[in-house]
Every structure is written in C-alpha cells, then in structure tokens.
Structure 1
Amino acid sequence: MARQNADSMEDYDYEALPPNFSLLQNMAAGAFAGIAEHTAMYPVDAIKTRMQVLNPAPGAVYDSVWRGMMRIASGEGILGLWRGMSSVIVGAGPAHAVYFATYEAVKQVMGGNKAGVHHPLAAATSGACATIASDALMNPFDVIKQRMQIHNSTKMYRSMFDCAKYVYRTEGVSAFYVSYPTTLSMTVPFTALQFLAYESISTTMNPTKKYDPVTHCAAGAVAGGFAAALTTPMDVVKTMLQTRGAAKDPELRNVSGFANGCKLLYARAGVSGFFKGVKPRVLTTMPSTAICWSAYEASKAYFIRNNDLS
C-alpha cells in the first residue's frame, strides 16, 4: 500500500491540483504564505514608505535603507521598525487565502495546470483575478499599515485599532478605499507580470513541475523583483493617497485619485519622483516573494502528500 502511494506520488503532476487538495487546504497554504511574506521584510518596507512620502518635514527625510533603519531603531526603539505589522498580520492571512484560491481556480479553468505545457495567458489572467479579489479585502489594512509606518505616527495612533478609528472618524469609510483603484493599477500588472515571470522561470528550471524548493525560491525572487521595479510609479502614488490624511500640506490632503496624484507628484518631484523608494521596494519584494512562493508551494506539497498517504 505504501509502495502504491509512493508510485502515485511519483506519477502525480504536482501542479495539477488534484481533487484531494481541497479549497480549504489551498486557502490555508495561501494564508501561511501571505503572513510569511509580509513579516519577513517588514522593516525595509517601512523605510520604503517613509522614502515615498511627498514633501516630508525636514526631520523626516529618508534617503538610505540602512541609515533609515538605524535612525528608526535609535530614535523610536527597535520595535519601531515593525510598527503597524499587526495590521498586516490580521489582513494578510485572509487576503492571501483568497488570493491563492482565486489564482488556482482561474488557472485550472483556463487549462494552466497541464503538465509540460507553458500557459502564459492563463498565468497572467489568474494573477490579475487573484489580486482584484484579495486587494478588496486587504486595502483597509494596508491603509492602516502605511499610516502607522510614517514618521512620528506614534504621536497620532497608539495601535492599529486606534488608527482605524481615527481615520474613520476624521475622513470617513471612503479613506480606506480611496487608494483601491490606484492599488489595482499597480497590483494587477504587478501580479500579472509576477505570475507570468514565475511560471515562465519555474517551467524553464523545472519542466516536470515536480515540487522543487530551489526552483520556487529562485523563480519567486526574480519574478517579484522584476514586477516590483516596473510598478514602482503606481506604488508611490498609492502611498500618497493612503497617507494623505496625515499630511499638513492642504494640496496633499485633497488629492482625490490616481490622475490627481500623478499630476501633483510630477509637479513636485518630476519624473524621478515616480521612482522614489524603488531600491527598498525591490529589496523588500525579492526575498518576500521568494518566501511567499516557497511557503505556499511547501504547504501545498505537504497537504497533497498527506492526503495521498491517508
């Protein structure tokens, strides 16, 4: 019996999502991957947010990842590097569960799980659909996270709940979604590019599509860095929209959308302003995407193996 199970595992196409890999298990794998991804590189993400803030106060200018981290650690305490992470942990699990469940479902429908065949359109479409669904859930948590990451946020918010109440009370529920269209303008191409690159690289490195941690890690890192660099302009505008309520500049406080944000950013910082924080963004995304894919694929393989042996 054990030999029969082993033989079935050898013949089994790992990527094909068999009937014994349930939706609940897929969502659990995605949730684990999301939390692992966001927490590992959080301090660098905090520096990226501060570097992207338009027109910061003289004491809030950050121009280097390392110096920025040392400055936060010495001035705000070492835990200041992880301020706002609670919002990510609460939101990332459910959001990534939806993300990977949508991704696998759409890819399966579009025939993207056939062994030995590369399906770039299925990969890109699956990624785009996945991010539209997950961002609808994650966007409010991301707003809270970025508000708590900015300079001197401790004077405004004691906790994620305090921040959420403050934003709701002063700006209304729309503040949690004013950046959603801009977020999608970034995350849809980001995810489509990432999934396209990931599937292309992993198929090239591992044409049999068997579980291979090295392939998943390397393909995830390269795909994530590539997509992050190309979508940085939209990320800068997203940060502007999500932190506008904390700005003292009236023009910044009244930014109403993506087009308005682009116009103001160009007027204040020129073309180079659209790539503020690109280095920490890529530095954050490459390892975090590698961790995300590795954690997801490992969880997926674990569930499949256990289900086959039971």
Structure 2
Amino acid sequence: MSLSSNSPDAVPGEEYEYEALPSTYGLYHNMAAGAFAGIAEHTVMYPVDLMKTRIQVINPASGGLYTGISNAFSTIYRMEGLRTLWRGVSSVVVGAGPAHAVYFGTYEVVKEAMGANSTDGTHHPLAAAASGAAATITSDALMNPFDVIKQRMQVHGSTYRSITECAAQVFRREGLAAFYVSYPTTLCMTVPFTATQFMAYESISTMMNPRKEYNPMTHCVAGGLAGAFAAGITTPLDVIKTLLQTRGVSQQAEIRNVRGLWHAAQIIKGQFGWSGFMRGWRPRIITTMPSTAICW
C-alpha cells in the first residue's frame, strides 16, 4: 500500500510501498528492532521454555522427573513456587538483545546482497532461506554461552543465584568448552530451523497478502505457523542440545563426559529409544509459535 500525500507519514512528492523501507531506515534500525523483538520473543514464553528443558533433561536430580507440561507446572508450583518458572530469564534478556540485533542485521544485509529486497513483487524463497541461515550462524555464536547458562539455571535443583555466579562456576569446573560444546549441534538445529521458518514465513505471508498491503496480522499468523512447523521438525536436535548443555548437572557419569552430537544421540537412543528424540516437543511448539508471531 502506498502512503498518500495526505498521510501524516508521507513526504511530499514521495510514495512508499508498505513492505519497502524508507531511505532513512538503515542497518542500525533493523538491529535495534531485532534486539527488542528478540527480548520480547524469549521472555514472554520463558516459563514454558523452562518446563521444556526440565522435561528433556535425562536422569535429573531427585524430584525432577516430569511427564508432561501439566505435570511439570503443577509440580513446580507445588514444590518450588511460581517464581521458579522465571529462573534464568536474565540470561535471555542479556544475551537475546545483541544476538537478535546481529541476527536481523545479518539477515537484511545478506537478503539485500542477494537481490531479494526488490519491490517488484517477486518471491525469493531461496534468498530468504540463505539469509536466515547466515543470520543464525552469526547470532548463535553470541547466544550459545547465554543459552548454556539459562539451561543450567532452569534445571531442577539449580542453586545458582545469578548469571554471573553460574558462568563463573561452569567456567571454573568445566572450562570455556562448556559454553560451546553444543554450538555445532545448535547450528545443526537452528540453520535448518531458520531456513525452514523463513521459507515458510515468506511463502505463507505472500499467499495471505500477495498485494503487500498493510496487514500486521499477516506477519503474526505467518510467523506463528512457520515457527511451529520449524520447531516440530527440529525437536530431536533440541533434545540433543539440552543434554549437551546440561551435562555438568547430570548424576550419570556417561552424560557428564558426553563428547558431542553423535555421542549424545547414542545416549538418548539407548535410554529412551527413538521416542526419546521427541521429548518436550509440545512445549517447544507451544513456546515457538507465539514467540515467532510476537517477533515478526
């Protein structure tokens, strides 16, 4: 939709397409918008994310075994109180801002370089997928340590009082590698997740709003559906990532000494069979669907 000359946002003699950004809108605007979107995305659904982590943890401390979302919520509420559902959220707030700023900044730079920001209405699903993948690689490098800290604070029986205390103790006991042992697995999960999400988002939003008219609900619906689809098919890698990131709090020696993606997958398969790779898929989708809708 073009802005008419009577619009308060219009500049005399100029017209802007709804999906096109004005010439004064630069990279830093994208990064700032991405930072705020990332913080909102992660914090709003944080309690469900905490329950997902607890469901996925293998061989947890006594009293930390959960069979589903309702069981996890009722147990946490009864034994630990509702404040526990927000344990570790500060790590997300601190990490998500810069990580998502880099994410959306990279996405727009790569998309522009691949010629996918044209205003002629042409659909560019492959460029969107490549841009999303590139954005993920860079942002995950920043976010991975904060994600490790977050999950260490989320697990049952965690005694960490702050993210700095958690980071210091993990570093002292396990070294710098503890913050990046899951990075290859994270990329194996988030690159296809993001590529799938952006392809689905661009396709759904184009189908719902082919004329690119002003319709914010299109972004919410398309983003939510794309996020749910991508979350569902990448759940097995999320289970592996959780095992790697929480290995230091496990009571099982084999998990504490897990070496990487394939070793973690063998442990999960050996203890739970193939169904073990879908542990926590419901809260993962429940978390991701509204989160991505909010973010878009």
Same fold (TM over 0.5): yes
Per-residue deviation at 1:132? 0.3
User: Structure 1 residue 70 and structure 2 residue 71: aligned?
Assistant: no
| Gaps in structure 2 of 5+ consecutive residues | none
3-state DSSP of counterpart to 1:248: coil
Query: Structure 1-normalised TM-score?
Result: 0.90
Name 1:278's counterpart in structure 2: 281
Match of residue 204 from structure 2 = 201
Instruction: Give the Å deviation of 1:263.
Output: 1.2
One-letter amino acid of the structure 2 residue matched with residue 143 of structure 1: V
Query: Are positions 1:217 and 2:228 aligned together?
Result: no
Report the CA distance shift for 1:255/1:13 in structure 2 as closer, same or farther (over 3 A). same
Shift of 1:109: 1.1
Q: Which residue of 1 aligns with 2:109?
A: 105
Residue in structure 1 matching 2:163, options 160, 165, 185: 160
Q: 2:61·2:251 contact (CA, 8 Å) conserved in 1?
A: no
8 A contact 1:123–1:192 mirrored in 2: yes
State the distance in 1 between where 2:81 and 2:14 align: 51
Q: 1:302 matched to which residue of 2?
A: none
The 8 Å contact of residues 43 and 69 in structure 1, kept in 2 or not, is answered as no
Deviations 1:41-70 (A, max 9, x none): 000000100010112345211112123122
Percent identity over the alignment is 64
Distance 1:56 1:245 in 2: 11
Aligned CA RMSD, in angstroms, stands at: 1.8
Aligned pairs, number: 291
- CA displacement 1:179-203 (0-9 Å, x = unmatched): 0000000000000000000010011
1:79 and 1:220 mapped to 2: Cα distance? 29
**TM-score normalised to the size of structure 2?**
0.94
| Counterpart among 26, 30, 35 of residue 30 in structure 2 | 26
Partner of residue 146, structure 1: 151
Q: 2:261 aligns with which of 258, 262, 266?
A: 258
Matched residues in 2 for 1:110 and 1:211: separation?
Answer: 25
2:181, 2:244 within 8 Å by CA — same for their partners in 1?
yes
Residue of structure 2 in register with 1:119 after alignment:
124
User: Which deviates more from structure 2 when the two are superposed, residues 104-113 or residues 127-136?
Assistant: 104-113
Check whether the contact 2:61–2:157 (CA below 8 A) recurs between aligned residues: no
Higher helix content, 1 or 2: 1
Structure 1 residues 9 and 117: CA distance shift in structure 2, 3 A: farther
Q: What is the aligned counterpart of 1:191 among 168, 189, 194?
A: 194
Aligned match of 2:94: 90
- Take 2:47 and 2:70, find their aligned partners in 1: how far apart are those partners? 10
1:212 deviation in Å? 1.9
Measure how far apart 1:211 and its partner are: 3.8
